[in-house]
Every structure is written in C-alpha cells, then in structure tokens.
C-alpha cells in the first residue's frame, strides 16, 4: 500500500493511487489529494528560532519536482523509519513512521524549559477503505490515540509524567473517497489503522529508547 524510497535527506512514501489526505503537515496541510508524502531530514543545528521551516520546505520540494507532495520535516535519522501493515476483516491499513522523542511532552502539562531539543513523531497512516471526509477526521483521532498509546506503553517518563507524544508531532491519514461516515474504534478500518500505527510507533519508540540508553 505504501512504497518507501529512502534517498537521504529524503524519505518518500509513494501510494498506488492518489488518496484523500488529512493532516496538519507543514507542507499542504488540511484536506488534499496526493500520491506522495515526503519527509525531509534536517540537522538539529538548522532548527534555530530564525529558521523559516515552512518556506524552506516548500522551496526544497519545488526544487525536487515535488511541489504537490505533502511535506514533513524531521531531525530523526530517516533510515530508522518503521513501516507496518495490519488487517481487520476486509480492510487493510499501513503506517510509515519516524520516531524521535527528545521533544517529548505530556498532554496538558507542557514542560517549562527554555530550549527544547528537536525531536518529533511523523507518521502516515493509510487504508484501502473508502471514506468520507467526516470519517477521515475520525480516522485521524484513531491514529492519534494509537500514537499516544504506543508512546505511553514504551516511552520515557518526564518531570510532568509519562510522555504522550512530542510538541511537534504530525499525523497524516489517507483513504479513497467514499460515502462511509464512521471510522471509530469499533469499525474494521478503525481497528486496522489503530493496529498499524501502534505497531509502527511502538517499534520506533523502542528503537529510540534503546539508542538513548547507549549514550
């Protein structure tokens, strides 16, 4: 469902067919239709307060010939990506994720730190189900729940409590346009997306935690 091409500092997710996407990605957020989602790796030193990430990403994608792609930014080593697939009944789902937690936060209790090191969770979750835009919104909430569950099950403790994500996470969900208006936890598509996201993010968190333990 997702074909991955790693060409540092780029990671490209190619889809078999354009899907209706929903995200808060830095490049082409909101509802868009595309068959490309592209990660751009940056160095921590690049991410200063003066750095105009949105303009820089737009210009970089345009120069690459991918002006219409949904674009994501990460300081995570792109070779550490995780791709997982899950099925429920007649529905399949896949999740591609890169996971860094140096910017970890607990929801509702942001840490009072003068400088936060870059680090984020970026994920793409798609399904072969046909969904309305209403269902796509619900699907985004399922992917968010799965991300959070994975971080809480395997991630770090902060001064504010167990991390639930990072301050700069970005989630992209996609599906074929359709009439289905439900995509909750009790549906096949909700179960499939939840399982794929949970697996991908869990493995990414475990990788990151192991790396931190070695430092």
pTM over 0.75: yes
What is the per-residue DSSP string for 113-131? -S------EEEEEEEEEEE
Helix and strand numbers (H, E) in the chain are 3, 12
Average pLDDT, whole number, for the chain?
A: 94
CATH of domain 2-214: 3.60.70
- pLDDT tens track for 29-71: 999 999 999 999 997 666 666 778 899 999 999 999 999 999 9
CA–CA gap between residue 160 and residue 135 (Å, rounded): 33
Residue pair 122/39 in contact by the 8 Å Cβ criterion: yes
Q: Where are the domains of the chain?
A: 2-214
pLDDT of residue 99: 98
Q: Tens-digit pLDDT profile for the chain (215 aa)?
A: 899 999 999 999 999 999 999 999 999 999 999 999 999 999 766 666 677 889 999 999 999 999 999 999 999 999 999 999 999 999 999 999 999 999 899 999 988 664 556 689 999 999 999 999 999 999 999 999 999 999 999 999 998 899 999 999 999 999 999 999 999 999 999 999 999 999 999 999 999 999 999 87
């Amino acid at each position: 469902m997702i074909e991955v091409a790693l060409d540092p500092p780029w990671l490209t997710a190619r889809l078999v067919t354009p899907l209706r996407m929903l995200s808060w990605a830095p490049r082409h957020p909101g509802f868009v239709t595309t068959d490309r989602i592209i990660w751009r790796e940056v160095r921590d030193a690049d991410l200063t307060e003066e750095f105009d990430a949105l303009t820089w990403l737009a210009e970089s994608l345009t120069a690459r010939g991918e002006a219409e792609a949904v674009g994501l930014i990460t300081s995570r080593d792109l070779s550490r990506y995780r791709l997982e697939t899950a099925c429920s009944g007649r529905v399949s789902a896949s999740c591609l994720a890169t996971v860094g937690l140096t910017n970890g936060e607990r929801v509702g209790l942001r840490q009072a730190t003068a400088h936060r090191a870059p680090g984020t969770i970026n994920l793409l979750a798609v399904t072969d189900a046909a969904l309305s835009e209403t269902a796509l919104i619900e699907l985004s909430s399922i992917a968010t729940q799965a991300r959070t569950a994975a971080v809480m099950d395997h991630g770090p403790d902060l001064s504010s409590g167990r991390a639930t994500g990072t301050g700069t996470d970005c989630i992209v969900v996609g599906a074929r346009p359709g009439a289905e208006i439900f995509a909750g936890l009790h549906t096949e598509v909700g179960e499939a997306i939840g399982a794929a996201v949970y697996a991908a993010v869990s493995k990414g968190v475990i990788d990151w935690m192991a790396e931190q333990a070695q430092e």
